[in-house]
Amino acid sequence: MSSRCALWARVSTDEQESGNQLTVLRAEAARRGLDVTAVYVLDGLSAWTGAHRGQLSQALDDARAGRYQVLLVWALDRLERGGIEPTLRVMRQFRERGVQLVSVQEPWTDASGEMGELLTAVMAWVARMESQRRSERVRAGLARRKAQGLPVGRRPGAKDTRTRKRSGYMARWERDRAGKVSA
């Protein structure tokens, strides 16, 4: 009897596609002889902001119920972007429920014990730094455009009329702009 597995695919924005991850994850499950019994697809949910936590909780509940023995992920940063301790915590939670966490991009996650935790800690730190640097680059680009007197945000008359979340960079820009107008 083959083991049951779950697939975990997450992308941070609606513009990204989780299908690429799912294709590779299904192929890896087949290569390992695993039966896919659950699929968690999180499109447009940021692990940095914690928007994925509801689905993560569901995956942990399903693991506790014994619905699968292996969780296949594209990479650990698809599960958690909070840094070393949150990543190790999630891995421990799955391990305590009898679930082996396997990352396709990071084959060393199959290693157990202290070596596995050391490598996980290093990669979790790298994932967090990558996310922070990407945010810094976006802020730098917005600041440069603002300093050059160029518009920040969508162009007037843009066809994309989707309602945008008013937090982060946009909210800060609106607050700064409102403060200058009233001053």
Domains of the chain from N-terminus onward:
4-130 (3.40.50.1390)
Beta pairing class for 35-43 and 70-73: unpaired
Helix, strand, or coil (residue 151): coil
Rounded to whole angstroms, the Cα distance separating 24 from 8 reads 11
Task: Tell which residue, 56, 77, 57, 63, has the closest CA to residue 120.
Answer: 77
In this prediction, what percent of the chain has a pLDDT beyond 90? 23
Q: Which residues have CB under 8 Å from 134's CB, separation 6+?
A: none
In this prediction, residue 26 carries a pLDDT of 94
pTM of the model: 0.62
In this prediction, residue 47 carries a pLDDT of 59
In this prediction, residue 164 carries a pLDDT of 59
Low-confidence ranges of the chain (pLDDT < 50): 183
In this prediction, residue 45 carries a pLDDT of 57
For residue 157, with 0-12 CB atoms within 10 Å meaning exposed, 13-18 middle and 19 or more buried, which class applies?
exposed
Rounded to whole angstroms, the Cα distance separating 51 from 105 reads 23
In this prediction, residue 73 carries a pLDDT of 92
In this prediction, residue 48 carries a pLDDT of 59
Rounded to whole angstroms, the Cα distance separating 64 from 99 reads 9
pLDDT tens per residue across span 107-117 = 766 656 676 67
In this prediction, residue 87 carries a pLDDT of 79
In this prediction, residue 33 carries a pLDDT of 94
- Residue 146 half-sphere exposure, CB side, CA atoms within 13 Å? 15
pLDDT tens per residue across span 25-63 = 999 999 999 999 999 987 765 655 666 777 888 999 999
